[in-house]
Amino acid sequence: MNNTTTKISTMKILQPITIGGVIFKNRTMFPPLTTGYEDKDGNISSQSRAFYTRLAEGGTGYIVLGDVAPVRSFAPTPKLFDDSQIDSFRLLADNVHAYGAKLGVQIFYPEYDVNVLNALFAAGEMQKLRTQLNHDMQHFVNEVSEDALMDIIDKMCACAVRAQKAGIDVIQVHGDRLVGALCSTQMNTRTDKFGGSLKNRTRFALMLVHALKKVVPDMIIDYKLSVVTPERGKGGVDEIDAPEFAQWLEAAGVDMLHVGQANHTGNMADTIPPMGVQPYCFFADITGAVKQAVSIPVSTSGRIINPDMGEGILQNGKADMIGIGRALLADPDWANKAGADKATDIVRCICCNEGCVDNVLNRSFIACVVNPENGFEETRFITPAQMKKNVVVVGGGPAGMEAARVAAKKGHNVTLFETATELGGQLHIAAVPPRKNEIRRAIEDLVHAVHTQGVTLKLGQTANIQSILALEPDAVIVAVGASSFIPPIPGIDRKNVYDAWQVLAGKYKVSGRVAVIGGGVVGCETAEYLATQGCKVSIIEMRDQIGGDISVTVLPSMLENYKAYGVEQYTGYMVTSINNGEVNCKDKNGSIAQIPYDYVVIASGARPVVFDTEALSVKGIEVVQVGDCCEVADISYATKTAYDAANAL
């Protein structure tokens, strides 16, 4: 179970703070994230409004709307470049204020020539547009004229005025993107007054702050101070210069600073690190160094999972406000639960990046894998049962536990069967590979939830028709999952050929030279795991590349490990046979490869487990299947199908 030791009633994170003469009800902050919820024209959609309103309802004190563009751009972000857009922002501000939260808009300018690209788009010259965009992303910071920079400041100020008219409380300057690129020693090679020294490179940022203070003098000015560390980032000031620049920003009139990792590296894992890549609270020390240099409040973010982590940062004097991003996607009631001494009920983020970061990068909207309601706040919420039913859930993996949790919370009487003696299903083996241990939080939180909701558990018992009927169910939810697929390859029945799931579960031990057949998620993770255990690993994959289904923020770390451990990749190869000591393969051109092995591990996908429910249906019992036994997918599919099925009862 997730435990906390801090006495909630005395937590500093829940105490008010005054910033720029305005009282914020607590020190919890939702930092700027690209959500993909906004309308195509940049207006705040009803989906977006519902999401941010839910955060305010859950107790978050300060909410920042990320990447608000002051111009018509191609970025899938909110936009506030026209007076007609003010009303949609006003509706959001009114909703957020109704729960006592403060709302900020993070104004940014993209690092490309918006006017040129808009003209190319209007003319339908898409190839030229793509070429120009690629060029601009590398050179715009050095090619943009001084006159154009002054025009950009005017547009950002006009955006701030519109935000003020909409009732927004805070303007946050995005210190990455174009502003950060100008500050950067790595990206800015200008020789005019905007390049060279720290004073010159930060000139535009300070000019922007001065201009904002003139046009919206009564608004709070927040500045996202993007910091380039020796290991990561490009678009921002170098770590050594951050405290001095922070002092200049304070002198210019900035009311608060949000210190974060600079981006522009091409790898979102630098700024939104997945599980196991960065330590918890990884930017707190750098934030603390900035805080020591200024007298204005400073906030931080970065893998802050539970209230104790945030409280520790505050108590150690490293920040004044705590940014909680992905953790609020997992549980928007984070602050309220902490305040009600129910921190153990918080559904904790597992930092997988699969539903949030990956979705946005794939031009979709964020949707958390452990919180089916995230992104669907308008349509997904648990409704009380009109009639209490006896509900039986078959299977104790993530789908089964989520179904049981929701059904019980609705008011039904729920019994869950699980063949194993513990709950969690395949999540237990998913947590074994390198960097994946944080998946165990999902197991712990679901187990905690089914206990809290009073679900009757029958562990170590395989459900059958007789045992189900004995409970006189009104509805049965089948969540029996999937089993690994063993392809019909000649020689696959050899004694030193094992299934990847069983290897990860510790049932079989392998050593020496290991050939992993299959380069999907399971195969790649198994290969990395075995390599770290000292095996000499080769991966064989029919597709042209491995890891096609792996998060783009996770794959770079995995490939670095492959390089470090000498994992060999045979892509585009089909296994034709497993002989004594050799795996025979051929590619689409007929080239043959013979890969020596001591052990072979099969990771060729999975197939749904069949559970015969005909006898239940004949008796008029409602039966629904959820998760992998419907379609082999991922934890997001498992939890969402389970939630919907249980909520429909």
Active site residues: 177
Spatial neighbors of 297 by CB under 8 A, at least 6 apart, are 17, 19, 255, 256, 257, 320, 321
DSSP string, 206-232: HHHHHHHHHHSTTSEEEEEEEEE-SSS
Match 């003010």 to its residue by tokens.
86
Q: What is the DSSP letter of 598?
A: S
**Percent of the chain that is helix, strand, coil (3-state, to 5):** 40, 20, 45
φ/ψ of residue 406, rounded to 5? -65, -45
Spatial neighbors of 449 by CB under 8 A, at least 6 apart, are 345, 347, 401, 405
Q: Which two tokens stand for residue 643?
A: 């939630």
> Are the C-beta atoms of residues 540 and 517 closer than 8 Å to each other?
yes
Report the distance separating Cα 7 and Cα 28, nearest Å.
Answer: 17
Q: Give strand ranges (E) for 78-137.
A: 102-107
Count Cβ neighbours within 10 Å for each residue of 227-239 and write b for 16 or more, e otherwise: bbbeebbbbbbbb
> Are the C-beta atoms of residues 259 and 302 closer than 8 Å to each other?
no
Reported residue count of the chain is 649
Q: What is the DSSP letter of 10?
A: G
Report the distance separating Cα 508 and Cα 431, nearest Å.
Answer: 17
Distance of CA 169 to the CA centre of its chain: 26
Phi/psi class of residue 627: alpha, beta or left (left: φ > 0; alpha: ψ in -120 to 50)?
left
DSSP string, 26-75: SSEEE-----S-S-TTS---HHHHHHHHHHHHTT-SEEEEEEEBSS--SS
Assign 3-class secondary structure to 374-389: CCCCCCCCCCCCCCCC
> Are the C-beta atoms of residues 288 and 316 closer than 8 Å to each other?
yes
- Taking alpha carbons only, the member of 169, 150, 147 closest to residue 216 is 169
- Taking alpha carbons only, the member of 170, 335, 322 closest to residue 259 is 322
Report the distance separating Cα 517 and Cα 379, nearest Å.
Answer: 42
Q: Where are the alpha helices (DSSP H) in 253-291?
A: 284-291
Q: Where are the alpha helices (DSSP H) in 220-296?
A: 242-252, 284-291
> Are the C-beta atoms of residues 316 and 304 closer than 8 Å to each other?
no
Report the distance separating Cα 414 and Cα 412, nearest Å.
Answer: 6
Q: Are strands 475-478 and 622-625 parallel, antiparallel or unpaired?
A: parallel
Report the distance separating Cα 356 and Cα 367, nearest Å.
Answer: 6
